[in-house]
Amino acid sequence: MNFENLTVFNVERVKTLGHHIVTTKYEQIANVDFRHVVATGVESFLTMKGLEKVKLLGSCLLGSWLVYLVVGIIYRVYFHPLAKYPGPFLAKITNFYGAYYNGRGELHIQTEKGFKEYGPVIRQGPNKLMFQSETALMTIYQSKHDIQKSKGYTSMVPTPGAWNTFTAVDREYARFRRRILGHGFADHRIREFEPIILHHAKMFVKRLLSSPDPESVGKWSTVWNMTENCRHMAYDIMGEFGFGQTFGLQTSDKNHFIIDAIHVAVARAGVYVQYPQLQKWNLDKVFYINAWKMRTKFFELMGRMVHERVSEGKHAKKDLFSFVIDVKDPETGRSLTETELAAESRFLLIAGADTTSTGMTGIFFYLASNPEVFKKLAHEIRTTFDDPNDIRGGAKLKSCKYLYAVMDESMRMSPPVSSALWREVTSDNFMVDGNHVPKGMDVGCSLYAFHHNEKIFSDSYTFNPDRWMVSESNPAEKVAALRKYFNPFSLGTRVCSGMNFTLTELADSIAAAVWYLDMEAPDTTAEGLGGGYVGAKYGRHRPQEFQLYDHITCGHDGPYLKFRLREGAKKWAAELMDMSATREE
């Protein structure tokens, strides 16, 4: 084509209605030298005033951006490899959908609602598919070769190279870290650490009993917000496990800021995991100014704790540091450095403390809203243990089947990690439920939506621990079938490393609290208990459901409860009240 000489036409279309023919008339105006046109354009641009130039350039840029945007949207909606899958329009065109709902703490609700609206496969981002079937759950999370954690996880790495087990995307590196960390979570290590868990569980009970009136043993206590009390206990335990020392949150408010610091960090991370590109926009400076200040204080505290721990000597404490510092990976011959271990300990505050405290708070919510369940559980614990000092992991505690059923049912109803754990497809022939998912796409299942899949968990919004109890009307096979799909700790190659640690912590502390205490909810409204309320928007409308605000880990409030020493426990109360916050090693 010759661009130097172009023929320019004046085009006139003649439009008529009905069956008349539409004609188009071309009238030749001139033969134009294209180079001349460009030169004239440049010349007239140069002669323009400054403001006019800016306006013209601005319009051109805006125009090009709009064209780019519209073309992008059309591509994502009609021509993208995932175009055929249903889902919210916003999700089809941008990851802002996931970021927005995660920021609001409602992605888990939108997902559960989405399956009802669109069916078992939803497009939840331009390159993301969310599935709701038993086979999809197994295919996605048990695959060893065709899947790895999504790139979104890398947005949580604070400085280049500072991976921890959770953020490790690379399969080989994650396996290496899990092999080392596994030594810290081995059963015999949990047994060695358990006395520390039990000490904090007793401090928890002692605090719940305390009241402004010193004569009040046996009378109702102060009203406690269990969200806070459970967090304080779980963070203190994780301080001991990760850093060999307690934060002292149950006994002083000096370090309470770490919980706020972690929550802002988690809310921020939740948004970026859904939409990693947002991180480039440096929004932290705008939205998280206070968080940056808290972050600095938090890192200073962590730095001090790591320093103190390291200077105490490798085996001075029974903690993660001591359990794994000497472990050499048999496959690579490598150990974790002190810096790598410190990164792991920092991460465990989120992964281990925030999650466990949500699990525990949920249990208190469901016990408070279901007094008949509390009664049955109290009977089981109080008749199994004559002496509360015998409560610890082992056959006796394991025999408390109803305790474990209550724990499972609470985490089914309100999983402490609720959203999808995105996985990236790394092979060319990955199939989920007969759908070929191209390489580079993200796939996942939502824990919350899955636990409320009526096909598997019937009457899924009813708290019913009996669904986990084997009986004549509920045979072992039926319970086993449920258990296969119950996955609060995820499953497969990246299942939670701290699952057994958590179950020990929950069983010890709930059994101790129920052994010593009766409880009562002074206010059974949504605000008082932390449930939903009739008339609220979808997902927040169920009074019998503990309300979670999901941002990777979950925010919540309540239940507000008061406690009193139960009958027959007086003999043991004095010992409890005399207990010192300082633990004897």
Contact footprint for ligand HEM (CB under 6 A): 165-166, 174, 178, 348, 351-352, 355-356, 359, 416-417, 421, 488-490, 494, 496-498, 501-502
Q: How many residues does the structure list for the chain?
A: 585
- For tokens 């400054």, what's the residue? 50
In whole angstroms, what separates CA 11 from the centre of its chain? 61
Looking only at the bridges linking them, the beta strands covering 423-425 and 224-225 are: unpaired
For the CB of residue 230, give the shortest distance to ligand HEM in the complex, in Å: 11
Q: How many CB atoms lie within 10 A of CB 34?
A: 12
| Residue whose CB is less far from ligand HEM, 105 or 359 | 359
Rounded CA-CA distance 85/123 in Å is: 6
Those residues whose C-beta lies under 8 Å from the C-beta of residue 26, and which sit 6 or more positions away, are: 9, 10, 11, 12
Report the C-alpha gap between 585 and 582 in whole angstroms.
9
Of 369 and 410, which CB lies nearer to ligand HEM in the complex structure?
410
E-strand ranges in 338-397 read none
Nearer to ligand HEM, 323 or 501 (CB): 501
Distance of CA 491 to the CA centre of its chain: 15
The residues that bridge with 31 in the sheet, in sequence order, are: 7
Shortest distance (Å) from residue 496 CB to ligand HEM: 3
Q: Which is nearer to ligand HEM, 211 or 490 (CB)?
A: 490
CA angle centred on 309, ends 305 and 314, rounded to 5°: 160
Q: How far is the CB of 60 from ligand HEM (least distance, A)?
A: 44
400 is in an annotated binding site: no
Identify which of 342, 265, 266, 267 has the alpha carbon closest to the alpha carbon of residue 301. Answer: 342
User: Which of 513, 341, 343, 491 has the alpha carbon at shortest distance from 417?
Assistant: 491
Give me the least distance between CB of 261 and ligand HEM, in Å please: 19
Report the largest interatomic distance among the alpha carbons of the chain, rounded to a whole angstrom. 108
Q: How far is the CB of 418 from ligand HEM (least distance, A)?
A: 9
CB of 362 to ligand HEM, least distance (A): 9
CB of 553 within 8 A of CB of 230? no
Whose CB is nearest to ligand HEM? 498
Nearest-approach distance from CB 487 to ligand HEM, in angstroms: 7
> Residue 253 and residue 247: Cα distance in Å, rounded?
10
Least gap, CB of 150 to ligand HEM (angstroms): 9
Q: CB-wise, 356 or 547, nearer to ligand HEM?
A: 356
Phi first, then psi, for residue 265 (nearest 5°) are: -60, -40
CA distance to 55, 191, 302, 344, 580, per residue, from 340 (Å): 53, 25, 14, 6, 34
Judged by CB, which is closer to ligand HEM: 161, or 535? 161
Looking only at the bridges linking them, the beta strands covering 224-225 and 121-125 are: unpaired
Residue positions in the annotated binding site?
A: 496
Residue positions in the annotated binding site for heme?
A: 496
